[in-house]
Amino acid sequence: NDTYGHQFGDKVLAEISKITKSSLRKTDCVARYGGEELVIILPDTTTEQAKIPIERIREQIQNKNFMHNEEVIKISISCGIAEVDNETVHQEDLLSKTDKALYESKKTGKNKTTIYSWD
């Protein structure tokens, strides 16, 4: 948004939404969470199982050419995955774990997927 403007940012988010929805099952849920963050809920899925479609989405976005005034713009995303467990009491707990994994992806190089670790 800062570099190319909000209209381009909106187009990118719309395209990312399309890529995401086409890569998931009918039972999965996608929602915008904050400005440019998405939350994906994958019912009855372990973190290792979740990594497969999340990586597929990340790679499709990484390989897509977004056009802005005849210029090709490359976009990448960082992802965090967390799983509901016995210690996850509230949705805020799950979001917090997912955020920690997301920030680990950003901190360690971006354009990657990190699974939340209790270590």
Give catalytic residues, as residue numbers: 36
CA pair distance 83, 97, nearest whole angstrom:
8
Query: Which own/partner pairs from 40-46 qualify as long-range (CB within 8 Å, at least 24 positions apart)?
Result: 46/83
Buried b or exposed e, range 94-116, using 16+ CB within 10 angstroms: beebbeebbebbeeeeebbbbbb
